[in-house]
Amino acid sequence: MAGGARIAGRVIVLLLLILVMAGGSLLWFDYLNIIDAKSVLSPLYRFAGREGRTQAETPPGETLSLDAERLAVRLEALDLQERELNGREQELENKYGEIEQMAQTLAEQQKAQDDREKSFNAAAEQADIRERNIETNARLLTGMPPERAVGIMAAMDDLDVINVFRKTEEIAQAEGTQSIVSYWLSLMEPGRAAELQRKMAGMPPGLN
């Protein structure tokens, strides 16, 4: 009688152990998302105060595969990486556009600078040519008889005559000779001579 009780006790312990192992296996497979044990173990989950993991529904006749899940995860990661690469590509395109705009702006500024330099050089060249022409005229008029020189200056504009006067005085001072400007003025019509002297007095040197 006692032996039968011991055997029955062992059987009960073995059955409990089998149930515990089976339940643990179900929990583990459910955690791995291999099977959906939520419906079977829902009382145990509620007793533990948590919800079991929900297994994705599969179409009829289709078996859930770990390889398929791994592939889906990899595809999702690849899609995320592709979106990230597309974002970086767009960012690079935007930066490239900004660099092109900056390069175009710099090119336009350089062209404007070159145009200003060309304009300045052209103006300087014109001024140099004009200065040489004034010096040539001053030397030619100085070498003429004073009466003839005054006759030529009578047909010249006041500004041109003043420039000749100043250049003649500059040459005489540089060469240490006597300027003939005062003699020219004495040979001119008094009104014209007075006007020229007035304009020369009110016109600073270099404004010609």
- Would you say 4 and 13 are in contact if contact means Cβ atoms under 8 Å apart? no
pLDDT tens-digit series, residues 73-102: 888 888 888 888 988 888 888 888 889 888
Residue 150 CA to residue 53 CA, distance in Å, equals 118
Residue at token pair 């005489």: 172
Domain ranges, ordered by start, for the chain? 1-54
pLDDT, one tens digit for every residue, the chain (208 residues): 556 677 877 888 888 888 878 777 766 766 666 665 555 556 655 655 555 444 445 555 445 566 777 888 888 888 888 888 988 888 888 888 889 888 888 888 888 888 888 888 888 888 889 899 999 999 999 999 999 999 999 999 999 999 999 999 999 999 999 999 999 999 999 999 999 999 988 877 654 5
Q: What is the distance, to the nearest Å, from the Cα of residue 144 to the centroid of all Cα atoms in its chain?
A: 66
Calculate the average pLDDT of the chain.
Answer: 81
What pTM was estimated for this model as a whole? 0.46
> Angle at CA 68, nearest 5°, toward 63 and 74?
165
Angle, CA 98 vertex, CA 92 and CA 101 arms, to 5°: 140
Nearest to 131 by CA among 87, 156, 153, 164: 164
Task: Give the separation between CA 160 and CA 195, rounded to whole angstroms.
Answer: 13
Alpha-carbon distances of 22 from 44, 101, 146, 185, 200, rounded to whole Å = 13, 70, 136, 133, 122
